[in-house]
Chain A
Amino acid sequence: MISIVGVTKSYGSIKALGGLTLEIPSGQIFGYLGPNGAGKTTTVKILSGMIPPDSGTARIAGFDITRHALEVKKRIGVVPESGALYESLTPAEYWEFAGRLYHLDQQTISRRGQEFAELFGLKDRIAERMNGFSKGMKQRVVIASALLHNPDVVFLDEPLNGLDANAVLIVKELIRSLAKKGKTVFYCSHILEVVEKLCDRVVILDSGVVAADGSVASLKRMTRRTSLEAVFSKLTQDPEAKDAARVLAEKLAGEKQKP
């Protein structure tokens, strides 16, 4: 479903992606991990046609992301990391806006909007402007707007930002069900426990290149670690960082707090 070959991207002298190559089949929940600045969001932006790659090619559902960008965009849904939306609108207005950009008819938008509102507990607030919404409530609206047009591929960049435990359970279940129906889920996150439980396959990106690729079990075997957190730490962390953190915490605790 997603095919990436030798994609590179730089911002000035900073190399964000250095020749990324990946193949992601339909129906897979693909976990994309990496420390801050590893290139995760850049990958999502390239694959969703928001920015062009410097070199390399990427195809989604057989369409080249640069030459057939509109065809690609019709088939994808994106939850951006920032959770940006028009806060002066109501959820119903925002979904209508998003749905009509995919040529959904009014009836379908209303029906699906109602279904998402019910699922996410927004039924009573569907006609309220979102300026007063909490971060979690806005995130639910963004997730619904990404799925409203029933895309084949869903890019989720930190989708659980601000969500409460109940909403997290709902989103996780939704992701599993979508994958079972053959949708491809490209899941970027820092919450390793969720990735460990949810994803069929995990890629760990470090400084724009793939540091590890495989199922959670195979990564654990390969690195001889018992948790994904430990695998991630081994592959991407400075070995002395843990000790430095401990020393700093001890220093802080040792200093007298001024009244």
Chain B
Amino acid sequence: MRPGFEKTGADWDQVAVLVKNGIRLQFRSGRRMPGPRRLSGFHWTIILYCIMGFSMAMSLVFRTTPFLYSLLTLAYAMVMIGFSTAADFALTILYPDEEEIILHRPVSSRTYWLYKTGVLGFSILALTAALCLPAALLGLMLKGAPLFYPAVYFPAALLAGTAAALAIIALYSMFFSWLRRERFQNALSWFQILLTFSLILFFQMLPDAGWPQAEKSAWYLFLPPAWFAGLIQVLCGGADRLDGMLAAAAVLSLVPLCAVTAGKFSSEYLSRLSSPDASGISGRARKGGTSAAAAGRVRLFSSDPESGAGYLLAAGMLKKDRMARASAHVLFGVPLIFLLLDVLRNRIGDPFAPGSSGAQDFGIRMHLFFSCFAVFYVLKGLAYSRDWQAAWIFSAAPITGAGRFTRGVKTAVLLKVIVPYYFLCALLLCTRMHWMSGLRHALTLLALGCVGFSLSSFLIKDFPFSRKQMPGDRSLRIRYLLCSIPFYALCAGFQKWTYGDDTAWLIGMGMLIVVFAASEGWSLRHSPVCLKADEG
């Protein structure tokens, strides 16, 4: 292998040490805590993907044809690998700190390219194995699948995962060729939000378009996972003409993707990413200080200077910090999309109408579930920031009660994120039910959301904007989904009890207000006197 490598102009020893180091870093936890070594974000991602891949395959294996099984499991794998690549793009694909660690060392561009390709290849292999190995093995139980199905399925899944990762890199590179670093990273955060929403919408709308269907049609030529499912069909034997075309599309799709992304792992490219943005140096003249209106809002919503400081910090970061903005928008955007889809499909019934199933409606249940997750973990999302090093201020500032500062932060999140979110929900709900019912339902969700948000501060101890984002951290947050299930169950029970009767609803709302006030009071009294910065 070494002579082959060296013919390309790359240095075998350097590639080996760089790739080994890159893989080692992926498996290292970002934070060093006392006690036994913890699993890294990447470990957790693999465990989670394994469970999700297995569940997906189990739910399909006895109900579908081999083609549909391949199509659906590969579609899922491609989306998850695409998401992972997008989420950790700035950290693993183009890691700006590497400029100062590697670029001054004698590493040629070709060596650097092979290093980046090697690490990316390893990530794709690990993630594909986690997502698709269970599906490959369970595929043996498919009706009509040959015994060698897993041996054909897994390499095709690897190609599909590679195509998904390369497509994301190609898209991001396109952005970067148009924009300089600061603007690129700003655009990246919006692009990630848009990508998340578009993919969710796309997969939700597929059944509306009659997909996936047992009858194969030429429309599958427009669906990338179907290309790779077609490839599996061809390799398994007994393929028709359409399968052949799909398989050809799968193989051919990799050619332009490889060509477009090949130049993106070069050290020159990294150098360009790391070069200071002229617009960033000169800086546009920005309004300094706080406007009169903003100062008024601070006084209105925060009774003391410490709350005011917390409010100003969180409000400013939600506006300017890309990571904070992306966390909040994605968390609340997803349930909003599901609600929009249910409204468009007319699946949301009036829960207060006489004779209705109340809050038992599937759409209402799902919306509640996603909202619970969002309000419960918005604080966790806000713990991450590009400016995490500024968290020293939490321990240096003469704050006499951390609770007051945290209350200011929570007020800002409530006013800037949670209330507008439920306002949008109310608007959407009113298009499908009596405005009074829509408003009552949205108010209930808001009250439940406020309680959940307040309770979450007991669970999430990180100070806002105090943590550095590490590879795998974003995927890792999905595990919190499991923790919000008990809260969801309580909310569902509450709705069931209160929606049938006006008096019960009023009493219930009163109770929620009391619980919220008690929870806030408790959190204010029992928070530490001084803030302690986490080691980050």
Contacts and interface: CB of A to CB of B under 8 A. Distances in A.
A10 B275 CA distance: 11
Interface string A129-141: 1011000000000
Contacts of B281: 11-12, 14, 37
A88 B100 contact: no
Given A11-B277, A50-B271, A129-B32, A101 B107 contact: yes
Contacts of A82: 97, 100
Contacts of A93: 21, 24
Contacts of A49: 103-104
B292 to A, nearest CB: 21
A12 B32 contact: no
Contact of B105 (A12, A89, A102): A102
A98 B104 CA distance: 11
7 contacts: A12-B278, A14-B281, A88-B30, A89-B24, A101-B18, A132-B32, A155-B104
B21 to A, nearest CB: 5
A80 B100 contact: yes
Nearest to A70: B106
In the complex, which range does the number of interface residues on chain A fall in?
Answer: 35 or more
Which 9 A-B pairs give the minimum distances between C-beta atoms?
A: A12-B278, A88-B28, A131-B32, A73-B106, A80-B100, A48-B104, A84-B100, A78-B104, A100-B17
A101 B105 contact: yes
A85 B24 contact: no
A70 B32 contact: no
Nearest to B27: A88
A51 interface: yes
B198 interface: no
Interface string B102-116: 111111100000000
Contacts of B436: none
B514 interface: no
Contacts of B17: 96-97, 100-101
A13 interface: yes
Nearest to B22: A86
A74 interface: yes
A100 B106 contact: no
A185 to B, nearest CB: 15
A157 B103 CA distance: 15
A101 B22 CA distance: 14
B104 A50 contact: yes
A179 interface: no
B99 interface: yes
Contact of B14 (A14, A51, A86, A101): A101
Given A100-B17, A103-B13, A88 B25 contact: yes
A159 B18 CA distance: 25
Given A100-B13, A103-B13, A50 B30 contact: no
Interface string B15-41: 001100100110011111000000000
A255 to B, nearest CB: 17
Contacts of A160: none
A205 interface: no
A5 to B, nearest CB: 21
Given A11-B276, A11-B281, A76 B535 contact: no
A73 to B, nearest CB: 4
B395 interface: no
Contacts of A98: 105
Contacts of A86: 21, 25, 101
Given A12-B279, A73-B104, A101-B18, 6 more contacts: A80-B104, A86-B101, A88-B25, A88-B28, A101-B107, A102-B105
B503 interface: no
A60 to B, nearest CB: 12
